[in-house]
A and B are shown apart, each in its own frame.
Chain A
Amino acid sequence: GQSLEQPSEVTAVEGAIVQINCTYQTSGFYGLSWYQQHDGGAPTFLSYNALDGLEETGRFSSFLSRSDSYGYLLLQELQMKDSASYFCAVRDRVTGFQKLVFGTGTRLLVSP
């Protein structure tokens, strides 16, 4: 089986830096993904970490520590448009096939 834990809500102000943590338990780990979903919108892919370390894509970075079963999404220079829900996800091997399992999401509120 698998489980993921992330905070339900995080608040920050414009221009700040925020870190959204994700801890996971899974029977067959391949990597950690992050998705963003604005209210009323579809989830969109942000990043994927298969190896330990930090991956940077513009203002967003994602980190993975496989030994700690832990990762985080780092958002810098926050903008109002970053207000959204953020989901971490892991792949879990099931009878030889793979499925992507999502956490319950972290709602980020960015204020002026």
Chain B
Amino acid sequence: DVKVTQSSRYLVKRTGEKVFLECVQDMDHENMFWYRQDPGLGLRLIYFSYDVKMKEKGDIPEGYSVSREKKERFSLILESASTNQTSMYLCASSSGRTPATNEKLFFGSGTQLSVL
């Protein structure tokens, strides 16, 4: 069974802390994504990566950075957490082999981050 695993289901941090959200996939997928989900706003893309050490900004990259040192792992970093980064963070991956597989994202269960 395919799997995208996010390291924490719930996380509470303080303003100004550096926060790491980890995501691992076991499907040998080329593409990995970080979204945040807020009520009424849907899923908004923060960053994505189509290969190891490669990254591209999504729609809302400000305040975030990412790291992809290995194909299976994609990390989201909040350099200095702020209260407006309280949200549900969803990691996803997809295979880039064909247009159809590129389309099918597999999501992790999400990390609900609260910044106090």
Cβ of B50 within 8 Å of any chain A Cβ, yes or no, is: yes
**CB-CB contacts of B18-45 with A at 8 A, as 1s and 0s?**
0000000000000001010000111111
CA gap between A30 and B100 in the complex, in Å = 10
* Contact between B103 and A43, CB atoms less than 8 A apart: no
**Cβ contact of B90, chosen from A42, A97, A99, A105, cutoff 8 A:** A42
Residue in A closest to B54 when the chains form the complex, CB atoms: A97
- A:44-99 near B, CB below 8 Å: 44-45, 48, 50, 87, 91, 94-95, 97-99
Residues of B within 8 A of A45 (CB): 103-106
Instruction: Give the complex CA separation of A35 and B104 in angstroms.
Output: 9
Flag if B108 contacts A42 (CB, 8 Å). Answer: yes
Q: Cβ of B107 < 8 Å from any Cβ of A?
A: yes
- Bound-state CA distance A103–B42 (Å) is 6
Q: B109: CB under 8 A from chain A?
A: yes
Which residue of chain A is the closest to B104 with respect to CB atoms?
A: A45
* A68 vs chain B, min Cβ distance (A): 20
Contact (Cβ within 8 A) A42 B107:
yes
A91 to B106, alpha carbons, bound, how many Å?
A: 16
Per-residue CB contact flags for chain A residues 1-33 toward chain B (1 = under 8 Å, else 0) read: 000000010000000000000000000001101
Say how far A66's CB is from chain B's closest CB, in angstroms.
15
CB-based contact B105/A100 at 8 Å: yes
Q: Does B102 contact A (CB under 8 A)?
A: yes
| 11 cross-chain CB contacts under 8 A | A33-B103, A42-B90, A43-B90, A44-B107, A50-B99, A91-B103, A99-B45, A100-B103, A101-B45, A102-B35, A103-B42
| 7 closest residue pairs by CB, A with B | A104-B42, A42-B107, A102-B43, A48-B103, A45-B104, A43-B107, A102-B42
